[in-house]
Homo-oligomer: A and B are copies of this chain.
Amino acid sequence: MSEFSLIYTHFKHATTRHANTVLGIGDDCAISHIPPNNQLVSCVDTLVAGRHFVFETDPHAIAYKAVAVNLSDLASMGATPYAILVGLSLPKAMANDDFCKAFAHGLADACTPFGVELIGGDIAGSPVLTISVTALGFVPSNQAITRQGACVGDVVCVSGTVGLASLGLHRILDDLNGDGHANRPPNSLPHDLRQAMQYPVPQVALGGRLIGFANSMIDISDGLGQDLGHILTASGVGAVIDLNAIPSHALLDALPHAQKWQHQINGGDDYQLCFTMPSAKLDLFRQQNPDMPIYPIGQIVADKGLVFLHNKKEVGLLVKGWEHF
C-alpha cells in the first residue's frame, strides 16, 4: 500500500477542520491563519518503539500519547493547541489498514477534545516504529509562561498526581533497563495505572487559566525533580519541596517511602503541570477557579538546588530523571 493511499484513507479526515486552517493536509504544506494579537507556539516530541513505549502497546495508545505529550508542552506555556503535524516511520508489517485505522483513531482521540487538527503528515518505511509529532498553538502576545521567572517566595504547585505512570511502567517490566518488551501486557494493569501510563490528559485548560497568575511553568515529562530543576536553573533560584504534599494515590501510598518517592521525583511521564506563583495569586486563583484544583508542594528559595522534606526533615534524594541514551 502506498504512502498516499494510507494517508488519504486513514489520516486525511481523522480530525475535524479548525477554523484557522486555510489549507489542510494533502498539499505540499498546510496554510494557517494566526489569530490577531496572538503568537505562535510550537514544539516537537518523538516517541520510539521499545524506548518510549513497550512493543506490546496498542497502536491507539501509541498515537494518543504521541499527541498528548506535545499538547502538554503547549499547555505548559499557557498556549491553546491548534494543530499537529505527524512524521510516522513504520515497519512494513504495520503499513496496513488495521494498524493505521487504530493509530488514526488514537490521534483523533487525543486531538478532538481540544479541537486540534492534523494539518500535515509524512509516512515512511522503517524497521522501527517512530512517531515524531510537531504541535502548534496560539498564545496571547507576550503572555506565554516560560521556565524563567520563578521568584523567591513563589509557591511551587502541581496540577495533580505524580508517580502513577512510572509505577505502571515498573509493574509491566521486570527491569526498567529492559529490552523494550513488557513481561505483562499493559492491558493487564489496574485502570488508574494504565490510564496514567498510556492516556495522560494534557492540562490544557489549566495551563491557559494560569496566564496572569504563574511566574514560571513546565510539564512533568522527565520527572518532577528534573523538570522542576529546569525551572530552577532557568530562573536562577532553588526550591524546598514537601514530599508529603505531593498529590499521591493509594497504589503509591502502599509502597515503602523510598520507592514511592522514586516514582514521584524521578519517574516521569506524568504530564502534570509544575508551576510557581506568589501566594497571594494562589489564593486569588483558587477563588476564581474553584473547579480547578491545584496543589502547593513547596516554595522557591534563594539558595540554589532542590531540597526535599519529609515531616519537616531533609531527605537525601538523587534527582535522575529519564536517561535518553
**Chain A interface residues toward B at CB < 8 A:** 1-3, 22-23, 27-34, 39-48, 51-52, 73-74, 76-77, 79, 83, 85-89, 92, 95, 119-128, 130, 132, 134, 136-137, 139, 141-142, 144, 146-148, 218-219, 234, 323-325
A28 to B28, CA, bound (A): 27
Contact B34 A30 (CB under 8 A): no
A41 → B minimal CB distance (Å): 5
> Which residue of chain B lies nearest to A218 when distances are taken between CB atoms in the complex?
B28
Contact B34 A39 (CB under 8 A): yes
Residues of B close to A85: CB separation below 8 A: 42-44, 134
Jot down 7 A-B pairs with beta carbons below 8 A, ordered by A: A1-B325, A29-B74, A29-B144, A42-B119, A122-B132, A125-B324, A128-B128
> Which residue of chain B lies nearest to A88 when distances are taken between CB atoms in the complex?
B46
- Assess A28 versus B73: contact at CB under 8 Å? Given A43-B85, A51-B126, A126-B128: yes
Contact B27 A325 (CB under 8 A): no
Contact A28 B40 (CB under 8 A): no
Q: Chain copies in the assembly?
A: 2
Residues of B close to A123: CB separation below 8 A: 324
Residues of B close to A86: CB separation below 8 A: 44
Contact B130 A51 (CB under 8 A): no
A128 → B minimal CB distance (Å): 5
A73 to B29, CA, bound (A): 6
Closest 5 A/B residue pairs (Cβ): A87-B132, A132-B132, A3-B324, A46-B87, A134-B134
Contact A147 B46 (CB under 8 A): no
Contact A125 B51 (CB under 8 A): yes
- Assess A128 versus B125: contact at CB under 8 Å? Given A43-B30, A89-B48, A325-B92: no
A87 to B47, CA, bound (A): 9
Contact B127 A44 (CB under 8 A): no
Residues of B close to A45: CB separation below 8 A: 87, 122
Contact B42 A34 (CB under 8 A): no
Contact A44 B128 (CB under 8 A): no
- Assess A147 versus B42: contact at CB under 8 Å? Given A34-B34, A132-B87, A325-B1: no
Residues of B close to A92: CB separation below 8 A: 325
A82 → B minimal CB distance (Å): 10
> Which residue of chain B lies nearest to A36 when distances are taken between CB atoms in the complex?
B36
